[in-house]
Structure 1
Amino acid sequence: MARWLFLIAGVYLLYRWIKGKNSTKLNREDALKSMSDKAPEILEPEVMVPCQYCNVHLPQSTAITFEQRFYCCEEHLHELDIAGWIGFANWRPSPNYDVRPENIQPDLVVIHHISLPPSEFKNKHSSHYIVDFFQNKLDPNVHPYFAEIAGQKVSSHFLITRSGELIQFVSTLNKAWHAGVSSFLGREKCNDFSIGIEFEGDGESAFEDAQYKTLTALVKRLSASYPNLQFAGHSDIAPDRKTDPGPFFDWQKLKKETEISPKNLPYGVTFR
């Protein structure tokens, strides 16, 4: 009787061993099949981009992006780079410029006003026409006034729109065609040594606070690169031809916000 019990027990143990072995094999096969069914995870390499200002390369995901340009930090976004372009401006290059005379750096800022069509900004957004004008793309068929000026080739370094947007057309290293026949304290040809800043406006209405805020940021940045900049209106350097920026431009506000020295405002801070 005991022999039969041992025999039965042996058969049972052999059955359990065979079953366990088959189960382990099936589990291993299932695991291998599951792994083969999963697509291998491919890690895409991080896109590296150069900082527009310092040229240091950094991951695009960590860069500050502005107009498809990349910056490594806020400070560099607000700098004037070595090519004469401000980082926080919208760049709309104009073909209307010349190289400055040799060894001449800008030491004068000339303030203008412009509106296309005249005073149209009061009714709707129209600063894009100024951009077209400075890029020689103004359509003379859009407005009668455009037909009168479409053939002119002019530019400015900067435009500040009614909303405070800053647009740059010409590098500060080059001279824009903004001053025309002009004289600053006895020095002729002001384009050679000046930076032109256009305020969107018509000379018949006040400028916007947003425009002065942008002007302040711009002047501080320019002054850091070009110490001892002096400031004048177009009417100051071409009094027989021009009246801009006009009686509504607040020179006192400019002086206060930028902390310009009075000696750098040779025509004073009175409305004119």
Structure 2
Amino acid sequence: MYFIDSAGWLTPAAKHPSLNFNARPPSAEVSLLVIHNISLPAGQFGGGYIHDLFANCLDCDAHESFDDLRELNVSAHLLIDRSGAVSQFVSFADRAWHAGVSQFDGRENCNDFSIGIELEGCDEIAYTQAQYRVLIAISQTLRRTYPAITVDRVVGHNDIAPGRKTDPGAAFDWTYFKNALV
């Protein structure tokens, strides 16, 4: 069972506060849930590199593919790793920097009104049952807390940044996930 406290932190998620956030615009109602994937290096799991990226302390010399991440300041609200463990980096009350250039339902800057959840994974590798179980439970909690997040407002990064982003990718079972939310 998950609970969101008055400051916007999920219990029992592990807190790893990121500096990569700012305040939502005063008129912004949280009304969108964006599902992402991330693996560092690409296609490899574990190792703590994702936490380091969101904490601005990634050693970009640790792997040749990290060179493109220098000076990058990004975050998500949550990360669900392959085992289903949950880390929270930004309060749901604040704007995490996960969506980038984005648009949904005629509105730009999806970070203003969305919550971003990263799944440790990549487009082509199946997600774990533990990840789906936790993602479903957290999504249900978020939808109770933020009723403007309807099932049709639960989307992939690819939906809000088409042509630029592909995640969560073909390996993500949208039918299974959305049926569990209804």
What are the superposed Cα offsets for residues 134-175 of structure 1, whole Å, 9 maximum, x if unpaired? 010101121111222132000000111011111110000000
Equivalent residue letter for 2:180 = E
SS at 2:17 equivalent: coil
Of 168, 177, 180, the residue aligned with 1:254 is: 177
Residue 183 of structure 1 is matched in structure 2 by: 103
**TM superposition shift of 1:204:** 1.3
Q: Is residue 24 of structure 2 the alignment partner of residue 100 of structure 1? A: yes
**TM superposition shift of 1:103:** 2.9
Distance, in Å, in 2 between the alignment partners of 1:152 and 1:216 is 30
Taking structure 2 as the reference length, the TM-score comes to 0.95
Residues 8-87 of structure 1 mapped to structure 2, 5 A cutoff: 78-87=2-11
Please tell me whether the aligned partners of residues 156 and 198 of structure 1 are also in contact (alpha carbons under 8 angstroms): yes
Across the aligned residues of Structure 1 and Structure 2, the Cα RMSD in angstroms comes to: 1.1
Residue 90 of structure 2 is matched in structure 1 by: 170
Residue 244 of structure 1 is matched in structure 2 by: 167
**TM superposition shift of 1:258:** 2.0
**TM superposition shift of 1:224:** 1.3
Residues 185-224 of structure 1 mapped to structure 2, 5 A cutoff: 185-224=105-144
Distance, in Å, in 1 between the alignment partners of 2:27 and 2:110 is 15
Of 111, 116, 121, the residue aligned with 2:40 is: 116
Distance, in Å, in 1 between the alignment partners of 2:99 and 2:115 is 9
Please tell me whether the aligned partners of residues 93 and 169 of structure 1 are also in contact (alpha carbons under 8 angstroms): yes
Unaligned stretches of 5+ in structure 1? 1-74, 260-272
Taking structure 1 as the reference length, the TM-score comes to 0.64
Equivalent residue letter for 1:192 = D
Q: Which runs of 4+ in 1 moved over 4 A?
A: none
Distance, in Å, in 1 between the alignment partners of 2:107 and 2:27 is 16
Equivalent residue letter for 1:99 = A
Q: Which has the higher contact order (CA 8 A, sep 6+)?
A: 2
Please tell me whether the aligned partners of residues 81 and 120 of structure 2 are also in contact (alpha carbons under 8 angstroms): yes
Residue 136 of structure 1 is matched in structure 2 by: 56
User: Aligned pairs, how many?
Assistant: 179
Structure (1 or 2) with the greater helix fraction: 1
What are the superposed Cα offsets for residues 79-99 of structure 1, whole Å, 9 maximum, x if unpaired? 100000001111100000010
Please tell me whether the aligned partners of residues 30 and 148 of structure 2 are also in contact (alpha carbons under 8 angstroms): no
